[in-house]
Each structure stands twice: as structure tokens, then as C-alpha cells.
Amino acid sequence: MSALLQAVNLNRRFGGVQAVAELSFNVNQGEILGLIGPNGAGKSTVFNLLNGVIAPDSGQIIFDGTDITGLPPYTVARHGLARAHQIMQPLLGLSVLENCMVGACFGRENMNLADAREAAREVAQSVGLGDRVDALAGSLTTAGKKRLEMARALSAHPKLLLLDEVLAGLNPTEIEHMIETIRGIRKSGITILMIEHVMRAIMSLSDRIVVINLGKRLAEGTPREIAENPEVIKAYLGDSKLLATAEESVS
Amino acid sequence: MSGSVSQDVAKAGTYKPHRSLTDEISRHVREPFPWLIVIFTVAVALAPVVMDDVSMRESLLLAAVYVILASNLNLMIGYAGYVNFGNIVFFGLGGYIGVYLATSWHVNLVLAALVGGIGVSALAYLFGRGILGLRGAFFALATIGVNEAIHAFVTNFEPWGGATGIYLSMDAYEPLGGPMNGLWICYFLIVVVMGLSLLLSYGVKTSKFGLGILAIGQNEDAAAVLGVPTPRYKAIIYAISGFFPAVAGGLYFFKSGIIEPNGAFDLTTSIEAIVMIMLGGAGTVTGPVIGAFLYEELRGFLLFSETFSHLQLVLAGVLLLIIVLFVPGGLLGWLRARLPWLRKWLQ
């Protein structure tokens, strides 16, 4: 399997805090890679580095054969890397359809308005927002806004989708729906890198998992390997329940 | 369920775009709204001719200038979400360039005004790349700075008459067939610029570029992550928003027969334009028109009223406060929230 994205020796410091330290990992074509770690481990910072919201102090990011290190987020988006935010950022005054159209128009395929409208409609349908396309984004529920984050990112027809805690704040039924949606996205050929705290979900969805702690890579492997890794158990010490659910969902 | 999801996504993934510019234009021609703009423009142009009323022409001319200022400022405030307090600099600088070319170089008036528009837009693009990195209040302050800096420069710029400005002699109107004729021609030209400003506003709002600008206005960081090239787009909309005000400035000051720094770069007019936008409804095409006409009426009434003649700006300020606090959508926003069918007709 070839690597769609390579992160090589990434470093980023905020004042006295080394948020990301000598971090390297690959995301392979077609896989779902889970990125987990305790709170404050630097997961969201990694996403910010990958899609250009902040630049790394050193290191290199290769996406689909192109060096995208330090490029601004809108250029990274054009290369086919889309992101759904942990804290939802809907364009509140625009409709659901228009939100998705922004993704389609300015994403990888650089569509014109009419084509973007079609693509946006299809994607909204596929994530379960088909009957809300004309509603203002501000009027959606939390679950709806999470779906909109995904729909907007998908409308760009990306090669790689970054999902930042898209399950957080959802109820069990909504989580089930979202997991199905994520599986569907992967089947359509889009590679996924996801941060998630809902262990049951990430263990069942991921092909591989990278664990980070204090900005460093702690472990990497299949969900089962990760669940049995003593280093990981130590990092999550005090949260044995978390691992218990993880074990349960793997076996 | 997962099967249908993946099919839908896969189908979306293979969709191939292609549509030509002529298709895009013909789509707009079938819409009712651009035709409303054309009808409105023709009506404003012909009203004083039909009524044979020069004072009506003068008040409509002022209203048209207000519409031009408000509508183009709305591209920044209503669409891109950037409050430009110094927008009058476009009008003043365009006025100087246009009047100077038309008088000292005897350039055709329309050409002179257009050169003013292009020059101001080019300058705005350069300035924009610099100051549009600022957000919120800092951007607003920087725009006041731009206006004051150019005001100070022009006041000391001798070729443009320094602090006394440029006066036009009666000869200046000869190419237009004398002063009487010239005033009518200036009026028609300004009304045309008004119509074009509204078509521009509609065109931007319904274009892909406009979608990017609206996204910036809603949440600039999210827009960038979605792929909108924010620095370039902001500079472009800033430059575009300067074009028609600058053209109108050339025509207006030529018609007035005088241009001097304090009149050309008057911050008060900048703020009045903001009141008009908020009064009519920011972010809509029609709102600034309604706001400009209402404000022109109100201003006329206040100037001639014995009690209020010195309170015009005080009342404008109070009006702005009331709107921002209680009716942030302006008149049109208020109406459209109650009558949704209006959306199709009044963009």
C-alpha cells in the first residue's frame, strides 16, 4: 500500500510547550487511520499542521507526492485535503446547500456554481441532510452541524478527509448513524484520518491506529495491538474503563 | 444503509464539471431581479425628464450617488463582513482624478471618470493586500487612516490645487454642449453608474466569487479551510468596491464645478453610507437602495426643518444605534423574515 500522506519529523512549539515533537507517520491510500491520545496530547495541533492552519517549526508534510509543508489552508484544500472540525464552524447565515457548495467550488475540483450545486446536493443526501438543504446552517441541531461539517468537506471530493472528533457530543443512535456514514465514505475511495475519543467507534472503524502522548508518537498498530500495548495502557492510566470498552469492541 | 451511502458518495466523486460563461449569463437573463434593476434605473433616469423638474433631478442625483456609495460599500460590509469606514476615499480620489483629467488634459468626461475608477481600484488592490490582514476594529481603523492620509496628501498636492482644490470654468462644459446640457448628461451618467453598481452587486452575490466572499463574511477561517483563497479574494472585493464610487466621484464633482479636499474626503459621508446600508438591510442588493432613498428623504426633511436642521447627524447616529440594536437585518431583513416570498423578487 502506498502512502497518501507522509508526516516526517514534525515539530511545533507554543511558547514553552512542545505541542508536537519529532512526529512521523504515514496515512496509506484507502485506509482509515485513527489518531488517539490523552487530552492535550497534541492531536488537533497535528491536524492544524497537516492542513496548513499553522506551519510546523520543522519537518515535512508530503501529500500525494507534493510537499505541502507551510502552504496556507486554502492551497492545501485545493490539493484535495479536506477537514471536518471538532468545534463546528458552519457558515451560519448560509443554507446547508450553500455551505456544501463552498466546499465544492473551492475544493480539489474547482467546480463552477451549477456543478457545485449538483455535487453539494448529492453529498448532503449521502450524509443524511437531504431534506435540510435549504435550511440555514444556524438552524441545525448539533448532530446536524456535525453532519454539515462532513458534508462540506466531502463536497470538495477530497483524496484525504481529516475528521476531528465528529462523534463527540452525539447520542448513541446518532453515533451509529455517523459510523455508517464514515464507513460509506471510505468505501467510496476516500482515505480518512480521524481523531476520536469514542473508543468503541475508533477501534471498530480504524485499520490502524497511531497513539500520541505529549506530542510524541507512543505506539502504532492495529486496534488489537494498540489495546494490548502496555505503553498505551500506562498513558491512559486511571482511565481503565476506556481501555475496557476498547478491548470489548475489538474482541 | 452503508451500501447506499457509499454509492451516493461514489457518484458524487465521479461528477465532472463543465458549463460555459454564456450559459451562466443566459441563466441570469431569465431571472426577474436583473430586469427589476434595469426598469428601476430607467425610471430614475426618465422621471425628472418627464416631470420637467430640475429640483427633482437634483434630489434624485444625490439619491443616486448615495445608492452608488451604499451599494458598493455593501460589497465589503454586507458580503465580506469587513467594515470600511473610509470608503469615501474612493469617491474623493476618483473625483480628483476624473476632474483633473477632464479639465487640465481635456480628456472626454466618461473616459476621465473611467480612468479614475481604474486608478482607484488598482490602488485599492495594493492597499487591500496590506491592510486586509487586519480584522475587525483594526481594519476599520486602518481604512480611516487611508482616507486621512490621502486627504492630507491631496491638501498638499499643488497640481490638484492644494487646499483650495480645482474650480471648473464654464468652458469645461463646452464639450457637453454647454452647462445646461452638461448637467443633464452628468445626471444620466450617474444614474447609469447606479444601475451598473446594482447589477454588479447582484452579479457578485450570485457568482462563485461571491459565494467565496459570503463565506469569508460568515467565518473567514472556515472559508480558508474550505479552500477560499482569502487574502486574494478580500483584496479583489476591496478593489471592486472602489471602482464605481470612483467613477461616480469624477462625474459628480465635474457636475458640481468644484472639488476641494474637505468636501471630497468627508468622513461624515462615509458614516452616512453605513447608516444607509444598515437602514435598508446589509448583505442584500435591494437594501442599500431602500436605505439610500430613505436617508436622502430624511436628510432633506431634517435640513429644512427649523427644529432639526443642526441635528441631522445626531439623528443619523441615533438611527444607526436603534437599527443595530433592534433590527440588525434592516428594513429588508425585517420584511423578508415576515414575507418569505419576497426573497425571489428582492435579492
Task: Kindly report, residue by residue over A144-199, the tens digit of the pLDDT.
Answer: 898 899 999 999 999 999 999 988 888 888 889 889 989 999 999 999 999 988 88
What would the mean pLDDT of B244-271 be, rounded to a whole number?
Answer: 95
List, as ranges, residues 192-251 from A with C-beta within 8 Å of B. none
What would the mean pLDDT of A7-24 be, rounded to a whole number?
Answer: 92
What pLDDT does A58 receive?
Answer: 95
| H/E element, A59 | strand A58-63
Q: Does B204 touch chain A (CB under 8 A)?
A: no
CA gap A223, A203 in Å, rounded: 5
Contacts of B11 in chain A (CB under 8 A): 122
Angle at alpha carbon of residue B270, lines to B269 and B275, rounded to 5°: 90
Q: At what angle do helices A96-106 and A142-155 cross, to 10 degrees?
A: 30
Question: Please, which residues have CB within 8 angstroms of residue A223's CB and are 6 or more apart in sequence?
Answer: A34, A202, A203, A204, A206, A209, A246, A250
Closest chain B residue to the Cα of A92, Cα to Cα: B218
Q: What is the three-class DSSP state of A20?
A: strand
Q: What is the three-class DSSP state of B1?
A: coil
CA gap B238, B94 in Å, rounded: 15
Q: Are B103 and B172 in contact (CB under 8 A)?
A: yes
Residue B38 is placed in which grid cell?
A: 434595469
Q: Does B228 touch chain A (CB under 8 A)?
A: yes
Tell me which residue in B10, B206, B227 faces A107 most closely, judged by beta carbons: B227
Rounded to a whole number, what is the distance in Å from the CA of A77 to chain B's nearest CA?
5
- DSSP class of B255: H
The pLDDT of residue A243 is above 70: no
Q: Does A78 touch chain B (CB under 8 A)?
A: yes
CA gap B7, A125 in Å, rounded: 11
What pLDDT does B137 receive?
Answer: 85
* DSSP one-letter string for B147-169: HHHHHHHHHT-GGGTGGG-EE--
The pLDDT of residue A1 is above 70: no
- Residue A210, judged by CB atoms within 10 A of its CB (0-12, 13-18, 19+), counts as buried
Question: How big is chain A, counted in residues?
Answer: 251
Contacts of B281 in chain A (CB under 8 A): none
Contacts of B6 in chain A (CB under 8 A): 183-185, 187-188
Residue B164 phi/psi, 5° resolution?
-85, -20
Question: Please, which residues have CB within 8 angstroms of residue B55's CB and are 6 or more apart in sequence?
Answer: none
Question: Please, which residues have CB within 8 angstroms of residue B306's CB and are 6 or more apart in sequence?
Answer: none
- DSSP class of A165: S
CA gap B309, A112 in Å, rounded: 52
Tell me which residue in A102, A113, A181 faces B215 most closely, judged by beta carbons: A102
Contacts of A154 in chain B (CB under 8 A): 9, 12
**Of residues A28, A4, A187, A150, the one with CA closest to residue B10:** A187
What would the mean pLDDT of B158-179 be, rounded to a whole number?
Answer: 88
Per the CB < 8 Å rule, is A114 touching B10? no
CA gap A96, A134 in Å, rounded: 6
Indicate the range of A62-71, A84-93, B89-98 predicted with least confidence: A84-93
CB-defined contacts A:B, below 8 A: 150
Q: Does B21 touch chain A (CB under 8 A)?
A: no
CA gap B242, A43 in Å, rounded: 44
Contacts of B19 in chain A (CB under 8 A): 112, 114-115
Contacts of B221 in chain A (CB under 8 A): 53, 89
Tell me which residue in B9, B18, B224 faces A73 most closely, judged by beta carbons: B224
Contacts of B230 in chain A (CB under 8 A): 74
Q: Does A30 touch chain B (CB under 8 A)?
A: no
Closest chain A residue to the Cα of B8, Cα to Cα: A126
Per the CB < 8 Å rule, is B2 touching A180? yes
Per the CB < 8 Å rule, is A102 touching B223? yes
What would the mean pLDDT of B272-286 be, rounded to a whole number?
Answer: 93
What would the mean pLDDT of B170-187 be, rounded to a whole number?
Answer: 88
How would you write B189-253 as a 3-class SS string? HHHHHHHHHHHHHHHHHCCHHHHHHHHHHHCHHHHHHCCCCHHHHHHHHHHHHHHHHHHHHHHHH
Q: What is the three-class DSSP state of A56?
A: coil
Out of B176-185, B249-258, B331-340, give the one with best mean pLDDT: B249-258
The pLDDT of residue B212 is above 90: yes
CA gap A158, A85 in Å, rounded: 15
Q: Does A123 touch chain B (CB under 8 A)?
A: yes
CA gap A220, B59 in Å, rounded: 75
Residue B341 is placed in which grid cell?
A: 416570498
Q: Are B8 and A125 in contact (CB under 8 A)?
A: yes
A 10 A CB-CB count for B9 gives 24
The pLDDT of residue A46 is above 70: yes
Q: Are A177 and A141 in contact (CB under 8 A)?
A: no
As a whole number, the mean pLDDT across chain B is: 88
What pLDDT does B2 receive?
Answer: 40
The pLDDT of residue B241 is above 90: yes
**Position A28, amino acid:** N
Going across the sheet that includes A3-14, the strands are A17-28, A3-14, A58-63, A66-67
Angle at alpha carbon of residue A215, lines to A212 and A216, rounded to 5°: 60
CA gap B287, B285 in Å, rounded: 6
What pLDDT does A4 receive?
Answer: 95
CA separation (Å) from B90 to B96, B150, B221?
10, 10, 28
List, as ranges, residues 162-201 from A with C-beta within 8 Å of B. 180-181, 183-185, 187-190
The pLDDT of residue B83 is above 50: yes
Residue A192 phi/psi, 5° resolution?
-130, 135
What pLDDT does A249 receive?
Answer: 61
Q: Are A54 and A13 in contact (CB under 8 A)?
A: no
Per the CB < 8 Å rule, is B19 touching A89? no
Closest chain B residue to the Cα of A93, Cα to Cα: B218
CA separation (Å) from B104 to A151, B101, B169, B170?
59, 6, 11, 14
Who wins on pLDDT, A180 or B347?
A180
Q: Determine which of B31, B79, B225 to mutate to test the interface with A (most A C-beta atoms within 10 Å).
A: B225
Give B15-74 pLDDT, tens digit per residue. Answer: 444 456 676 677 767 788 899 999 999 999 999 999 999 999 999 999 999 999 999 999
Closest chain B residue to the Cα of A83, Cα to Cα: B225
Rounded to a whole number, what is the distance in Å from the CA of A235 to chain B's nearest CA?
32
Per the CB < 8 Å rule, is B227 touching A156? yes
pLDDT cut 90: percent of chain A above it = 57
Per the CB < 8 Å rule, is B226 touching A125? no
CA separation (Å) from A155 to A51, A97, B216, B225?
17, 10, 18, 13
CA separation (Å) from B224 to A158, B118, B210, B310?
15, 28, 14, 47
Q: Determine which of A126, A155, A159 to mutate to test the interface with B (most B C-beta atoms within 10 Å).
A: A126
List, as ranges, residues 50-69 from A with C-beta within 8 Å of B. 51, 53
